[in-house]
Structure 1
Amino acid sequence: MEMSALVLLGIFFILLFLNVPISFCIGLATLGTMLLSMDLLPALTTLAQRMAGGLNSFALLAIPFFVLSGLLMGRGGIAKRLIECAMALVGALPGGLALVNVLSCMLFGAISGSAVAATSAIGSFMLPEMKKQGYDDSYSAAVTAAAATTGMLIPPSNIMIVYAIASGGVSIAALFVAGYLPGILLGVALMIVCAGYARIKGYPVGARLPLKLVFSKIAAAVPSLLMIIVVIGGIIKGAFTATEAGAIAVVYSFVLAVLVYKEVAWADLGKILLKSTETTAIVLALIATSAAMSWILSYENIPQSISAGLLALSENPIIILLIINLILLVVGAFMDMTPAVLIFTPIFLPVAMELGVSPLHFGIMMILNLSIGLVSPPVGSVLFVACAVAKVKLEQMIKPLLPMYAAMFVVLMLVTYVPAISEWLPSVVGL
């Protein structure tokens, strides 16, 4: 087992540091480990079989649908209306534009399910406006990047679908509902940081809008927000599956973006479809190779050995969960969420269950943990998108991000050690 683990990790990290695409890192590391116990032809055959088997899931069909609906939402004028709605709700509070940024990312994440899409769509509108009001560019970019991670927890979220598959049967509907309270808690924590930061820096307070204008801005965003009720409500009520909900989300976002708001031209649909195909292909390649790696991990009994090793360190759930969190925080800084979930769920979920942690609770904890990795150097994808949108250097963002990292870690600890934050709402709706 020791040799297998060393070969697997060695090949993976060597290729990763050589800047090889991560799906190839995973696939080649898996193949190299297989060659320790079988010849080349059986190893290649097994790798192909496990990759194909990893994609043989009806639930995975939801991913291309939600990717496409997210792209349509991002380009269809939805972000602008959500920002105006957020402005009407919190714009007059201390640090108003930063709070608007956070709330807009939460609302957009609840529709698109993509942190990168939220960073790009919300950042394109909010960052120039924040600059006009005297906000520092690096701070504005940091707020956008940190707030965009709420979209990983507030459904619909593609990473929740991936975790449901990796965990071997956790309900996607239950995961979707379980993400609301942690996602809102994370957003509120970031808002508290932004309000305190605004007072220290003396950032301006927005003008209070007339009540009539507030209602009109909220009303303009209602068609976009209704998608949450239609999609999540339908899943909870059992009217359709997560995959069918994804298809409905595509139709709904198409009607809004093309026919109602008319901000996506018919000529643009080809580019949007091509982009969604490209994104889906990248995600599915990661899922396929990660499924093969999960198999070789199980074949070599590596998860069982790690589980025994962790439990040998301590039988205290507080200590073990803290160790798991610290490991995942490091993993998230170097690896994208999808392969991280697929690779480490089979390793750490059995340990968590041994400690009495439910798969639902562990899933939300894991997703929140790895969401922090999206804004952590050196690999954080959301971090680099925010840098590009704001036209600032990565090192300029680190200082304003520090209090936000602290807030995110506090929320992570709360979610880890207070299971009710994740489990209460699913139990209320009967999931």
Structure 2
Amino acid sequence: MIEFASPFSIGLGAIIALSLLGLPIGLSMITGSILYLAASDQDMSIAAEQVLNGLNGSYILLAVPLFIFSAGLMNAGTMTDRLLGFCNMLVGRLRGGLGHVNVVQSVIFAGMSGSAIADAAGSGRIIIDMMKRGNAYPAPYAAAITAASAVIGPIIPPSIPMVLYALVADTSIGYLFLGGVVPGLLMAVAQMAINALMARRHGFPVSARVPLRAMPRLTADALPALLMPVILLGGIYGGVMTPTEAAAVAAAYAFLVSALLYRSLSARDIYATVLAAGRSTSAIGMLIAGALAFNYVVVSENIPQTVRLVLGGGEMARWQFMLVVNAILLVLGCLLEGTTILLVVVPMLLPTARALGIDPVHFGVVAVVNIMIGLVTPPYGLLLFIVAKLSDAPLGKVTRELLPFIAAMVGALLLIAFIPGLVLWLPRRFGYTG
């Protein structure tokens, strides 16, 4: 039982109050942690010590700004446009073809950016305009499938959320990346099935077939972009480079292809991309700093052990624990920002998961998928607001169109959660022994 005036309640109350007043959650967590230290008569400099120690020893975190920057370069150049042309050649001729193109391009783009926001804000703008052209697809539907497909981005490697999970769980990034491949493809299949169903129900058009003579040109145009995930993942799993080094290679490759090969990147574009990447990195960095400070509070108060007792400790079966975890993360995803959940809530659940013998790679992929679904779940879902703005569609209508996709993704999530082999099959092919 938490006392009303205990140091923990003072710190937690400050975090909630400041967040409600509009202060960024990272700053709120730092402030609440300092208040906790003051109320418990501890040295307040411990907060700074926790932040500095956590960031100083985390070489892996360099991957975050580099992946953000590489995604920005791809969107600023014409790599995304060429990928869309290639995807349209593959699946555009099917009924509801542009919806399928939307999903397939997200699968391919996922192998480059690692960010759902980058996917939606970049290629999403282009594909929404394509779908709306000539009133072929209602704007709310175009926005809904764009938001749903963007969720795939951080599940298929590389993945910024998996980098953050590896930080808090001390787990191999390489095996986490491999663990996301099959779940990401499963999510894509589920979304394409819903799109096919909706296309038949609403009579969505069939796109014109791409002439056979145009296919080699479209493939050649997209080939440099298509090679990027091959180079990155081949380098990581071939032992040539670490995931952080792969992020640097991704940024360099995106720059060289966009600026020198496609000649579609101006100095103004580069400046805007650097600025946007800096802003995004600063926001994520502040969240990480707040989480590192608050995690000291959590450990000091034995919150993970309390959570384990509340959840039944060793008496709870694995499937029961996974069911509870999915319910908790899905509900929190409706209310909180995903990075906050990953850095603050997931570490509280990890000790119980380990005690029950749940594989950390499997648990991490399940947690990331939950958090990604939260990006499209009202009322907070950040992707909802982004795609509604891009499509000029009312938020309520976009949400209604999203419901079948959310249901399909939750169904895929349950398969991933209760059939560990879907996650662990590929890592084990590459030597994982967990």
Partner deviation per Cα, 1:15-61 (whole Å, 9 max, x = no partner): 2222221112222222233333225xx12x01111111221211111
| More displaced stretch, 304-313 vs 344-353 | 304-313
Percent identity, please: 37
Runs of 4+ in 1 over 6 A off after TM superposition: none
Q: What amino acid is the match of 2:46?
A: T
Are 1:99 and 1:194, in contact at CA under 8 Å, matched by a contact in 2? Answer: yes
Instruction: Give TM-score, length-normalised by structure 1.
Output: 0.95
Q: Could you say which residue in structure 1 is the equivalent of 2:327?
A: 326
Partner deviation per Cα, 1:388-427 (whole Å, 9 max, x = no partner): 1101221121111110110110011011001111111011
Instruction: Give TM-score, length-normalised by structure 2.
Output: 0.95
TM-aligned CA deviation for residue 261 of structure 1: 1.0
Are 2:115 and 2:159, in contact at CA under 8 Å, matched by a contact in 1? Answer: yes
Q: Could you say which residue in structure 2 is the equivalent of 1:26?
A: 29
| More displaced stretch, 304-313 vs 222-231 | 304-313
TM-aligned CA deviation for residue 146 of structure 1: 0.8
| More displaced stretch, 286-295 vs 8-17 | 8-17
TM-aligned CA deviation for residue 268 of structure 1: 2.5
Q: Could you say which residue in structure 1 is the equivalent of 2:140?
A: 138
Is residue 2:271 matched to residue 1:248?
no
Structure 1 distance, partners of 2:278, 2:397, is 34
- 1:402-421 matches, cutoff 5 A: 402-421=403-422
User: What's the RMSD between the two structures over aligned residues?
Assistant: 1.6
Q: Could you say which residue in structure 1 is the equivalent of 2:81?
A: 80
TM-aligned CA deviation for residue 101 of structure 1: 0.8
Structure 2 distance, partners of 1:374, 1:112, is 17
TM-aligned CA deviation for residue 8 of structure 1: 4.4
Partner deviation per Cα, 1:278-327 (whole Å, 9 max, x = no partner): 11111111111101111210111011111111015961222221111111
Runs of 5+ unmatched residues, structure 2 = none
Q: Could you say which residue in structure 2 is the equivalent of 1:311?
A: 312
- 1:12-411 matches, cutoff 5 A: 12-39=15-42, 42-43=43-44, 45-56=45-56, 57-133=58-134, 134-167=136-169, 169-311=170-312, 315-411=316-412
TM-aligned CA deviation for residue 186 of structure 1: 0.5
Structure 2 distance, partners of 1:98, 1:307, is 43
TM-aligned CA deviation for residue 123 of structure 1: 2.0
Structure 2 distance, partners of 1:125, 1:29, is 42
Q: What amino acid is the match of 2:161?
A: I
Runs of 5+ unmatched residues, structure 1 = none
Partner deviation per Cα, 1:331-382 (whole Å, 9 max, x = no partner): 2222222221111222111111222211100000000000011112222221
Partner deviation per Cα, 1:139-193 (whole Å, 9 max, x = no partner): 11000001001001011111111110110x2111111111111111101100100
Q: What amino acid is the match of 1:127?
A: I
Structure 2 distance, partners of 1:313, 1:177, is 29
Are 2:140 and 2:397, in contact at CA under 8 Å, matched by a contact in 1? Answer: yes
Are 1:83 and 1:104, in contact at CA under 8 Å, matched by a contact in 2? Answer: yes
TM-aligned CA deviation for residue 5 of structure 1: 5.2
| More displaced stretch, 242-251 vs 304-313 | 304-313
Partner of 2:206: helix, strand, or coil? coil
Q: What amino acid is the match of 2:156?
A: I
Structure 2 distance, partners of 1:413, 1:405, is 12
Structure 2 distance, partners of 1:323, 1:7, is 28
CA gap 1:21/1:245 in 2 versus in 1, 3 angstroms: same
Structure 1 distance, partners of 2:356, 2:313, is 13
CA gap 1:397/1:8 in 2 versus in 1, 3 angstroms: farther
| More displaced stretch, 15-24 vs 274-283 | 15-24
Structure 1 distance, partners of 2:123, 2:300, is 44
Are 1:106 and 1:151, in contact at CA under 8 Å, matched by a contact in 2? Answer: yes
